[in-house]
Structure 1
Amino acid sequence: MSKVSLPQGTRDFGPEVVRKRNYIFSTIKTVFELYGFQPLETPAMENLDTLMGKYGEEGDKLIFKILNNGLGDPKNIEKARNAFEQVLQGKNDKNLTERALRYDLTIPFARYVAMNHGQLTLPFKRYQVQPVWRADRPQKGRYREFYQCDADVVGSQSLINEVELTSIYAEVFRRLGITVEIRINNRKILAALAEVCGGADKMTDITIAIDKLDKIGMEKVKEELAQRGLTTEQIAIIEQYLNVDGSNAEKLGQVKELLGASSIGQKGIEEISYILERTPNLSNVVCDFTLARGLNYYTGIIFEIKALNVQMGSIGGGGRYDDLTGLFGVPNVPGVGISFGVDRIYDVMEELNLFPAAVHSGTKVLFFNLGEAECLAAFGLMQQLRANGIACEIYHEQAKFDKQFKYADKKQIPFAVIIGGTELAEGKCVVKNLKQGEQQSIAQKDLANFNFQ
């Protein structure tokens, strides 16, 4: 029998990890709700046509496709064999696969809006917390199955939405204790760069290349741009653009000088200025003109969150996508959204020891099991504590004190309640603080009011 294992890029989560993850989820959801967002869930799988062609050529390669059921039927074997040959050539064939696991939460959300736009009150503000799947190469901070937490607004072109999403990022990471940079750019500025470098058809080539700048460095980016057909002069302009530096105001000035002749470039600069003017107290909002986010559907402001003091990729990102639902036959529904990478956020908080002590707490009180009659009395008291919101449990069988104390220690249970024969006869119980080693005897009727702190 082969060794039991997990699929590469996936993980189990034990109780302690789940509590920490839930702390992150709860913090993010609380802030989403404060800003008027409503919860939404969509299926784990979508029709393949819904997903393909929405993430650029790099993203499409990472979509997990699902084999059709019934391929074992003799009638389908030949179709499947021929379809597989098509897939090996980089083509999709419905005889082999028609569905796929969702790659992110944005496209499924756009599909939901397209299907339900007649019933939605616009602008529609939703948040979504669910797992997504990508056929990526697993490494630190990068998994094949991971959770995303998204907040999106559709049905509004107002830049006040971008301001609020910027504020949500700042508030969530303030509450989690993570020091971050909220990096912003604008796809209109990237479109202007493409104009200067020969035309709009160059934009995808440029954004895919410069989106890799942090990973492969300037020289490799220049090599890739050359491979994509850009001239030496065009690459020199892009290099000048990528070397923009200084304060936010200085960067904006340099970009305006380089791309200001483009009307779409001017619009992008104005939109970034709008956000900076309305978030003067957020010193961690940084203009990053190297930011590209190589997803084809972004059209305006784009975000990326970088945790400081730790080696980790982006822990959040998003942007404006003014015609995403047009991909599904419902044009002219503008939108903007952000995403939190919970798995990377967890890794950052673990590395920097940012989880509060209270996150680790589970059972507050362990009732010892010292006999049938004693157990019956303990069970009644335990139910009273549970009714008061105090998490407690009783040891599962009658056992020696040492064994029950060890159980409490391993589970980090801070209090024990002990009812032996003497306590049972006298209507009392012993409450022991296991951290401090102190204990006291009290009446059983007073236990519900005891301060377990």
Structure 2
Amino acid sequence: MSKPSLPAGTRDFSADVVRKRNYIFNTIKSVFELYGFQPLETPAMENLNTLMGKYGEEGDKLIFKILNNGLGDPKNIDKARVAFEQVLQGKNDANLTERALRYDLTIPFARYVAMNYGQLALPFKRYQVQPVWRADRPQKGRYREFYQCDADIVGSNSLLNEVELTAIYANVFKRLGIPVEIRLNSRKILAALAELCGGAGKMTDITIAIDKLDKIGPDKVKDELIARGLTPEQVTDIEKYLSITGSNREKIEAVRSLLGHIPLAVQGISELQFILSFNEAGNPDAADNLVCDFTLARGLNYYTGIIFEVKATTVQMGSIGGGGRYDDLTGLFGVPNVPGVGISFGVDRIYDVMEELQLFPAEVNTGTTVLFFNLGEAESRAAFGLLQQLRKKGIRSEIYHEQAKFDKQFKYAEKKGIQYIVILGSKELADGNCMVKQLASGQQQTVAQPDLPKFNFA
């Protein structure tokens, strides 16, 4: 029999890891709630036609498709064979697969809004914390199953929403202790660059190539742009754009010099300046972290305005957050003209960053505080009564599951990192006492049983 294993790109989480992850989740959720967002959950699977065509050519390739149930039925075998041939040719066939695991939380959210639009109070502010799945190549910080934490606002064109989302990013990462850059760009500026290079039809080719800049470097981006049909002159314009450096103001002026004659660029620059100036005036914590990054593309087709990406500044890691404005995303589902903007936190990468920087508080890993030894039936009955009193006081406690030697029960407590043991043997039972021992220091003292709930297990 082969050894059990996990699918590539997935992980088990031990108690310590779950507690640390919950610390991140709870920190993010508390900030979402602070800013007036409400929770939402959607199914793990969606209809395939809900997801396909929403993430661009590269994203569609990473969607995990689910085989239809009943394919083993002889009536369905011939249909499945034909459908499989279709799939091998890059075409989808409902006879083989009609559903898929969700790729992100944004498209399912747009589908939810479209289905419930008449009942929502607009603007609708929701947050969602659930796993997503991508058929990507596993590597450090990149998994096939991972959690996203999203916050989205639909039903408002106001740039105050973008300002609030930058503030959420700054607040969360300050609470977690992670130094970050919150990078900003505008798809309108990228659309203007595409217009400079031959028209809107070049937009997808340009953004997909630019989005790989950190991974493959400028020379290979140049090669990819040429392979996608851009002329050497157009590639030269893109190289000028990608080489822009300096302070936020200097970068904006350089973009204005290159693209300022194109109306879309003027709009994008104005929106960036609004967000920067609003934070400078009222939210210096966020303003200090905001960086205009005109190489930022976020290769998802549904973004239409400001786009975000968050990078940790002291650790080599991919983005730990990202998002942007996606006006009319719900139009994909028959409800047009609903503006929206959202951000996402990459919890798995945030966890890796916090581990590397040793940022988790020591108390995060606290599990059971008190273990009652099991020293016989009468003794365990008395111990159980005291155990319930401690639990009512909010003290995490348990009793060893069976009568056993001291050594075995001590080893159990040590393996679980339990801080205190309570020994209630026949002598203590007769005297109305119990012995409390702190394992780390070895100190022990006798405590009257009625006084045990008031003992300071700190």
**TM-score normalized by structure 1?**
0.99
> What are the Cα deviations for residues 119-165 of structure 1, in whole angstroms up to 9, with x where unaligned?
00000000000000001111111111111000000000001010110
1:271 matched to 2:275: no
Matched ranges for 1:394-413 at <5 A: 394-413=399-418
Alignment correspondent of 2:256 = 256
Alignment correspondent of 2:433 = 428
Say which of 334, 339, 343 aligns to 1:334.
339
1:381 matched to 2:386: yes
Q: SS of 2:319's equivalent?
A: coil
Alignment correspondent of 1:437 = 442
CA-based RMSD: 0.8
CA distance in 1, matches of 2:166, 2:73: 53
Residue identity in the other structure for 1:407: Y
CA distance in 2, matches of 1:424, 1:3: 48
CA distance in 2, matches of 1:3, 1:411: 26
1:64 is displaced (CA, Å) by: 0.5
CA distance in 2, matches of 1:20, 1:224: 41
Alignment correspondent of 2:203 = 203
Gaps of 5+ in 1: none
Alignment correspondent of 2:303 = 298
CA distance in 1, matches of 2:260, 2:456: 66
CA distance in 2, matches of 1:27, 1:345: 12
CA distance in 1, matches of 2:436, 2:181: 48
1:187 is displaced (CA, Å) by: 0.3
Q: SS of 2:21's equivalent?
A: helix
Alignment correspondent of 1:310 = 315
Q: SS of 1:272's equivalent?
A: helix
Q: SS of 1:363's equivalent?
A: coil
Alignment correspondent of 1:289 = 294
Residue identity in the other structure for 1:143: Y
Matched ranges for 1:11-410 at <5 A: 11-280=11-280, 281=284, 282=286, 283-410=288-415
Alignment correspondent of 1:419 = 424
Gaps of 5+ in 2: none
1:73 is displaced (CA, Å) by: 1.5
CA distance in 2, matches of 1:219, 1:101: 35
Q: SS of 2:126's equivalent?
A: strand
CA distance in 1, matches of 2:12, 2:39: 25
- What percentage of aligned pairs have identical amino acids? 78
Residue identity in the other structure for 1:373: A
CA distance in 2, matches of 1:403, 1:64: 47
Q: SS of 1:279's equivalent?
A: helix
Q: SS of 2:119's equivalent?
A: coil
Structure 1 stretches of 4+ with a deviation exceeding 2 A read none
CA distance in 1, matches of 2:260, 2:432: 84
1:21 is displaced (CA, Å) by: 0.7
CA distance in 1, matches of 2:19, 2:7: 23
1:284 is displaced (CA, Å) by: 1.1
CA distance in 1, matches of 2:53, 2:368: 49
Residue identity in the other structure for 2:273: S
CA distance in 2, matches of 1:48, 1:437: 60
> What are the Cα deviations for residues 163-198 of structure 1, in whole angstroms up to 9, with x where unaligned?
110010111111111111111100000001111111
1:3 is displaced (CA, Å) by: 2.2
1:402 is displaced (CA, Å) by: 2.0
> What are the Cα deviations for residues 20-44 of structure 1, in whole angstroms up to 9, with x where unaligned?
1111111110100000000000001
> What are the Cα deviations for residues 356-375 of structure 1, in whole angstroms up to 9, with x where unaligned?
10110010101111121111
> What are the Cα deviations for residues 36-70 of structure 1, in whole angstroms up to 9, with x where unaligned?
00000000111100000000000000000111111
**TM-score normalized by structure 2?**
0.98
Residue identity in the other structure for 1:198: G
> What are the Cα deviations for residues 177-235 of structure 1, in whole angstroms up to 9, with x where unaligned?
11111111000000011111111111100000000000000000000000111111111
Residue identity in the other structure for 2:360: F
CA distance in 2, matches of 1:242, 1:197: 14
1:118 is displaced (CA, Å) by: 0.3
Aligned residue pairs: how many? 453
Residue identity in the other structure for 1:233: E
